[in-house]
Amino acid sequence: MSKPKQIPIHKGPQQYQAGQSSCSRFERHGEIDKEIVELQKQLEDRCKWLEEKFRAMENVDYLCEVDAEEWSLVPDLVLSPKFKTPEFEKYNRTSCPEAHITMFYRRMTGYVNNDQLLIHYFQDSLIGSVAKWYNQLSRAKINS
């Protein structure tokens, strides 16, 4: 007696043959399940790590480590509550720097004798790489 002919059975995208063992298919699913569990664990660990970092950043002690006076170009500057910052045309290295400085002084006419105020607000008239350069300068390099 001959062996019955195996007829393929179509179920979804995979093809199975009658009489064929499906153990290997289940073994693969088991391996995939293990990988999924491991990836979920890694994701949870990363989320916990990020949460800890965010908590540290929210901590008041973390914020107190930064001294605003160290970052200020003019630490002794006192502004009147009534002072309104004039609108400045932003300088980005594409126009004439002398014309920009002239316009800045004209906008700040009432304060030309207050170097600290001029230094403080000059940065507001800069944009892009020029602003980045200016903000990297130390107090010693900016005196008037």
List the chain domain ranges. 25-63, 74-141
93-117: average pLDDT? 91
- Element of type H or E holding 14: strand 14-17
Predicted confidence at residue 9, as pLDDT, reads 54
CA angle 79–84–86, rounded 5-degree value: 120
Residue 106 or 18, more confident? 106
Cα–Cα distances (Å) from 46 to 39, 42, 50, 55, 65, in that order, read: 11, 6, 6, 14, 26
Q: How confident is the model at residue 23 (pLDDT cuts 50, 70, 90)?
A: low
Residue 24 or 30, more confident? 30
Helices and strands (DSSP H and E) totals, the chain:
6, 2
123-126-127-132 Cα dihedral, nearest 10 degrees = -50
Question: Whole-prediction pTM value?
Answer: 0.49
Length, in residues, of the chain:
144
Q: Which residues contact 53 (CB under 8 A, 6 or more apart)?
A: none
Q: How confident is the model at residue 91 (pLDDT cuts 50, 70, 90)?
A: very high
Q: Which residues contact 103 (CB under 8 A, 6 or more apart)?
A: 88, 89
Of 97, 85, 84, 92, the C-alpha closest to 121 is 85
